[in-house]
Amino acid sequence: MMLQASTIQQHAASVLCRCIACAALLLSAETRATASSLDSTDTVVRALHTELQRWQTAFGAVNPTPYFVAYWVYDVQNIMLSAEGGAIETAATERRRLLDVSVRVGSYQLDNTHILRGSSGIQFGRGQVSFEMPFDGDEDALRQVIWQATDRAYKAAVERYEKVLTNRAVKVREEDTSADFTPYPPQRYYEPPQQLQCDTAHWSAQLRALSSELAASSAVLHSQISLAVQLLRKYLVTSEGTTIVTNEPLWRLAIVVRAKAEDGMTLPLYRTYLARAEQGLPSYDSLLRDVRAVVELLAQLRNAPVLDSYAGPAILSGRAAGVFFHEIFGHRVEGHRIKDPTSSQTLKPFVGKQLFPPFLDVVFDPTLHHYAGVELAGSYRFDDEGVPAQRVVSVQQGVFRNFLMSRSPIEGFPQSNGHGRKQAGAMPVARQSNLIVVAHQTVPLDSLKAYLRAECRRTGKPYGLYFDDIAGGFTFTSRTIPNAFTVQPLVVYKVFADGSPDELVRGVDFIGTPLATFSNIVAASKEIGVFNGICGAESGNVPVSACSPALLVSTLEVQKKAKSQSKPPLLPPPPSTVEEVSP
């Protein structure tokens, strides 16, 4: 699983499942009621419901009979602008409409999605194929695609279900015997279509001006500033009677700069901004200040010393701590991993037990749109299985309480809590949303640094580390390889025990294993940092946020970062002939 910065990761339930499995496809009347209660002028909704009703009739005459069918449509419009060296290099618009189909054969207890133990084949979320749909045709054109996609999905489901039955017959008894899927009451929600509007001439002028400012610096080897505007209209229609249609607008502006040190190390810096509407992005003057600050920091990084391997006390800024929690904790509370026999299942034995210091809570809340004054990327109204978004308290006063759940239950956690997520071309699994670390005992950041210096003196370390900014990170959760994590810092400072001024350093990643690191958190700051990013894992790339105070960690290990062996360019960049540029 990888997290990247946002630039342009029972028994009662089983009885219930068995009782209602046989009636799952007797829902055409419910489906018709759903359609009539929504906007009947929406061609996509009409086409999905019409084909679903046709297939429900047809499926009643085949064996095995599907017990669940779901359609997802992703109608996406994109506008992309990017500039380098004071000139526009990309100006593109895109429109696509994609269809995903899920057909479940068997029963809620056991179906074709069941894990194939000992198989190297596709498991958990992967393996779905999206079908291109027309976006300017009539209902008949849409139904042609839906018809063919459903036929293919049913045949693939039957084939895999046969493999599931065989696999189950020849393997040992499973550790987790909970059902493959759980029912959920039908949901009906409809948002009218929105128009994608962007003044590309205005933004092109701003990007040109800002990229000219970047190109004027001799410290910058490569730079780009980009704007990506997306309007995603999502449809979910299921045989249970759910119909959900939502709009997800997203504006993302990114500043990317890179330098190259004399030893060949590439030094990247990023600034990213995310908003649901244009008004949420920074003003030009604010962006210009950020561009100049990035250029100045990049020049300092080129001359900063390389840090050797180190193990000792450290402070993670709020953004760095957010990614730290996302990687070492968040991926291990995604419930589907507890079913995976190849997963380390690190947190399975810790339910109801102390995992973190008592002053910390960890919450996942997709219903929040802002936190600490920052707009959040991991917000949504419904998850991708038709379950309303829910706030989940995963850790309370340091005690581990809850996994993140999709509609695939695990022992002790029989119901979804609204975290089944996916992108087009994948199937939903439990995924993170807005991760929020809440500290009940805090101190100002300056006091946290004083604690760091005291810890260095106590342990005989001449300095500790302050991780100020990060690019992202990744983690491994399999039991077949080391169960570890890596977080990739961009800006790191030495904080000296004797109070000398902090020193900028470069060239390290911080690494570790989860359980050893959890117990090393000793204090938190009042100040909150927010990291908005894109998390890649089994069900594709989904937007997430990680919010946290800065954290003091008693022991953290760093290793040298991999670097290029190529020398910097022989010549400096061409001299800039552009004077003061403004949009």
| pLDDT reported for residue 281 | 94
Low-confidence ranges of the chain (pLDDT < 50): 6-36, 121-122
- Position 325, amino acid: F
| pLDDT reported for residue 123 | 57
Give Dmax over CA atoms of the chain in angstroms: 80
**What tokens does 50 get?**
């019409």
Question: Could you tell me which of 359, 367, 371, 440 has the C-alpha nearest to residue 398?
Answer: 359
- How many other CB atoms are there within 10 angstroms of residue 90's CB atom? 15
Question: Could you tell me which of 106, 107, 105, 101 has the C-alpha nearest to residue 151?
Answer: 101
pTM listed for this prediction: 0.88
User: How far is Cα 274 from Cα 277, in angstroms, rounded to an integer?
Assistant: 9
Q: What are phi and psi of 205, to 5 degrees?
A: -65, -40
Question: Could you tell me which of 211, 190, 210 has the C-alpha nearest to residue 85?
Answer: 211
Name beta bridge partners: 81.
91, 227
Hey, where are the domains in the chain?
2-302, 310-560
| pLDDT reported for residue 25 | 36
Q: Which residues contact 571 (CB under 8 A, 6 or more apart)?
A: none
User: How far is Cα 456 from Cα 535, in angstroms, rounded to an integer?
Assistant: 34
Q: What are phi and psi of 278, to 5 degrees?
A: -55, -35
Here the contacts of 44-50 (C-beta below 8 Å, separation 24 or greater) are: 44/73, 44/75, 44/142, 44/235, 45/190, 45/235, 45/237, 45/243, 45/245, 46/139, 47/139, 47/142, 47/143, 47/146, 48/73, 48/142, 48/146, 48/235, 48/237, 49/237, 49/243, 50/139, 50/143
Q: Domain 2-302: which CATH class?
A: alpha beta
Question: Could you tell me which of 474, 481, 475, 180 has the C-alpha nearest to residue 342?
Answer: 481
